[in-house]
Chain A
Amino acid sequence: MKFRANLYIGGAFFATSVIVAVLAPLIATHDPVFDANLMNAEIPPGWEYPFGTDAQGRDIYSRVVHGARISLTVGLVAQCINSIIGVSLGLTAGYWGGWWDDVVSGLTNLMLAIPSLIFALAIMAILGPGLVSLLIALGLTSWSYSCRLARAQVLSLKSQGYIQAAKILGYSDLRIMFTQLLPNILGPLIVIATLGAGGSILAEAALSFLGLGIRPPYPSWGSMLSDAREQITTAPWLSIFPGLAIFITVLGLNLLGDGLRDILDPQSRERTS
């Protein structure tokens, strides 16, 4: 049994982010939003404020810690929505085939033709900034990968003996899809979802950085970076820590995804599409 470094390191990074997010109110030393005090503005990192303070005197450490909640929630929930949409469409399209398959394939090709961040940005423009809009915008725009994967896997499994047996036993289509096919294709889908969650966190950061996602004063890592850009000359620490938090969390998810791939999807090569 070889030592799976990326699985453990990735797992540890990601677990740290989750723990920080869960325990945020306990480990934050200041209020992330309302503890503004202009007397403390732009203090460099030190004992009292380990990550420094921003232009309004708020503690960056506490804001980064609370930001974990928003960034992780958006990343994980959006990816769940993507997975549910993608897997449902892919399973049914692969299993039923026919006109439904044509419809789903057409939709998938359309989604692949539009860069997903551009699509998400268009949806945010219409819905306006906010947490719910973000979940909708990111949850509806990157399901094509899991859809294509689920469809391809179902196509290769559908003529297997145990599926035929289930049909002869009179199982309903839905029962076959969700109790016979889904468990057999779950491994690669989990890998895609893990990597996709990292992508959603990056997309949230990008949209919030543009001012279209989570809006100030609430701390998401992206919105903190948006404030920080203005003060890059006087207070560079404002930019460093939220970006590092994004990096560690997404790196954790990517390593975890790679590690899971070795275990759950051993025959796959790098899936690039």
Chain B
Amino acid sequence: MLAVLLRRLLNIIPTVGAVILLIFVLFSVIPGSFTSTGAEDGRMLDPQVIERMRKEMGLDDPLLERFGRYVGHTLVGDLGKSFRTREPVTKLIGDRLWPSFKLAMAAMGFAVLVGVPLGFIAALRPGGAIDSVSMIVAVSGLSLAQFWLGLMMMYLFGLLLGWLPSFGYGDGGPRYLILPGLALGFGPMALLARTTRAAVLDVLNADFVRTARSKGMAETRVVTWHVMRNALVLVITTIGLQFGSLMGTAVVVEKLFSWPGLGSLLVDSVFQRDIPAVQGCILVIVLFFLAINTLVDLAYAAIDPRIRYA
């Protein structure tokens, strides 16, 4: 297990390096980046402000020197100071991590708890009523804009029925978490239902399942002992991959519900041309996604003894 972990961590290093390089290239090298587009938009008019920004960011220094400085600071966990609040970016991000994490977990929890059983039940009777209904729900869930679903639920449950707070973080309690969590979790739920169904159908036709049945094993034991374990690998892959798109959609859903997470910070910082904050948010989001994928790989090794990273 430890060897798997170390190997994965070693594999991550080049990716993290490439991401840092990419962020640097995007925001510091490409001509017409932040400072100048700010001027073109007519949003950041004052040439003195632009001059100050260029100085502060050291935009007039040689490229390699800037890159070296950026990498050096990033590696020791210094993401710079926000242009807007003058606070360290790490503090800004730190304040937002917990709400974002809570929302992501609530959404993924909903997706797993509803999607996996739904797909499982659907696969046991392919073509049956439950199968048809759940697959219609699944393909619909993959086709709607999740922020629109959020907007509709906000109207129905927040404004019309008044059951739940329609937006905001409030005291951070579960009541505030329900609507954004559902909006964010619906897409992953739909995909998980489909994937689980496909994986279970696939395993149900495998030779070892036929053998288990023909030797007289009880059906419930066949399903729990053989089918579930084998379908789980594909399901876990999907969960890991879905975190990526979930973190993208989270930006929009957080903004919609005025949720004080990393996504809202990213969008606000983009509008305020707060480059250090934008860079920091993107870096943290990517690192989180990589961490999730590493966990997924570890989970493989735990579930399926055949998977060994030689």
A and B associate = yes
Query: Taking beta carbons and an 8 Å cutoff, which residues of A are in contact with B?
Result: 6, 106, 109-110, 112-118, 121-128, 198, 202, 205-206, 209-212, 222, 225, 228-229, 232-233, 236, 239-240, 242-243, 246-247, 250-251, 253-255, 258, 269-270, 272-273
Would B285 and A110 count as touching, CB distance under 8 A?
A: no
Query: Taking beta carbons and an 8 Å cutoff, which residues of B are in contact with A?
Result: 14-15, 18-19, 22-23, 26-27, 30, 32-34, 37, 40-41, 139-140, 142-145, 147-148, 151-152, 154-155, 159, 191, 194-195, 198, 202, 234, 237-238, 241, 244-245, 247-249, 251-252, 255-256, 266-267, 270-271, 278, 282, 285-286, 289-290, 293
Q: Which residues of A contact B285 (CB under 8 A)?
A: 115, 118
Q: Which 6 A-B pairs have the closest CB atoms?
A: A117-B248, A243-B148, A251-B143, A270-B198, A250-B143, A115-B248
Would B278 and A122 count as touching, CB distance under 8 A?
A: yes
Closest A-chain residue to B269, C-beta based? A125
Shortest Cβ gap from A38 to chain B (Å): 24
Would B151 and A228 count as touching, CB distance under 8 A?
A: yes
Shortest Cβ gap from B35 to chain A (Å): 11
Shortest Cβ gap from B270 to chain A (Å): 4
Q: Which residues of B contact A115 (CB under 8 A)?
A: 244-245, 247-248, 285-286, 289
Shortest Cβ gap from B292 to chain A (Å): 11
Would A126 and B18 count as touching, CB distance under 8 A?
A: no
Shortest Cβ gap from B10 to chain A (Å): 14
Complexed CA–CA distance, A103 and B235 (Å): 30
A–B complex contacts, Cβ < 8 Å, 28 sampled? A106-B18, A113-B289, A115-B245, A115-B247, A116-B244, A116-B245, A117-B251, A118-B247, A126-B26, A126-B32, A126-B33, A209-B145, A210-B252, A210-B267, A211-B271, A212-B270, A232-B159, A233-B159, A239-B148, A243-B145, A243-B152, A246-B145, A247-B145, A247-B148, A251-B143, A251-B144, A269-B202, A270-B194
Would B282 and A118 count as touching, CB distance under 8 A?
A: yes
Would A270 and B159 count as touching, CB distance under 8 A?
A: no
Would B148 and A246 count as touching, CB distance under 8 A?
A: yes
Q: Which residues of A contact B33 (CB under 8 A)?
A: 126
Complexed CA–CA distance, A270 and B198 (Å): 6
Shortest Cβ gap from A212 to chain B (Å): 7
Shortest Cβ gap from A28 to chain B (Å): 22
Q: Which residues of B contact A269 (CB under 8 A)?
A: 198, 202
Complexed CA–CA distance, A97 and B289 (Å): 29
Would A128 and B37 count as touching, CB distance under 8 A?
A: yes
Cβ-neighbour of B245 out of A117, A225, A255 (below 8 A):
A117
Complexed CA–CA distance, A233 and B160 (Å): 9
Q: Which residues of A contact B14 (CB under 8 A)?
A: 106
Complexed CA–CA distance, A229 and B256 (Å): 8
- State whether A273 and B241 are in contact (beta carbons under 8 Å apart), knowing that A118-B282, A122-B26 are contacts in the complex: yes
Would A229 and B286 count as touching, CB distance under 8 A?
A: no
Closest B-chain residue to A207, C-beta based? B252
Closest B-chain residue to A270, C-beta based? B198
Cβ-neighbour of B139 out of A122, A236, A254 (below 8 A):
A254
Would A113 and B252 count as touching, CB distance under 8 A?
A: no
Q: Which residues of A contact B159 (CB under 8 A)?
A: 232-233
Q: Which residues of B contact A212 (CB under 8 A)?
A: 267, 270
Complexed CA–CA distance, A125 and B23 (Å): 12
Would B144 and A246 count as touching, CB distance under 8 A?
A: yes
Could you list 9 further interchain pairs (A-B, Cβ under 8 angstroms) beyond the known A110-B15, A110-B18, A117-B249? Answer: A115-B285, A117-B248, A117-B251, A118-B248, A122-B27, A123-B26, A209-B147, A232-B159, A239-B151
Q: Which residues of A contact B152 (CB under 8 A)?
A: 239-240, 243
Q: Which residues of B contact A109 (CB under 8 A)?
A: 15
Shortest Cβ gap from B309 to chain A (Å): 16
Q: Which residues of A contact B147 (CB under 8 A)?
A: 205-206, 209, 225
Closest A-chain residue to B21, C-beta based? A110
Would A126 and B30 count as touching, CB distance under 8 A?
A: yes
Q: Which residues of B contact A254 (CB under 8 A)?
A: 139, 142-143
Complexed CA–CA distance, A114 and B248 (Å): 9
Q: Which residues of A contact B247 (CB under 8 A)?
A: 115, 118
Q: Which residues of B contact A243 (CB under 8 A)?
A: 144-145, 148, 151-152
Most interface-central of A125, A212, A239, A258 (chain B CB within 10 A): A125
Shortest Cβ gap from B234 to chain A (Å): 7
Closest B-chain residue to A247, C-beta based? B144
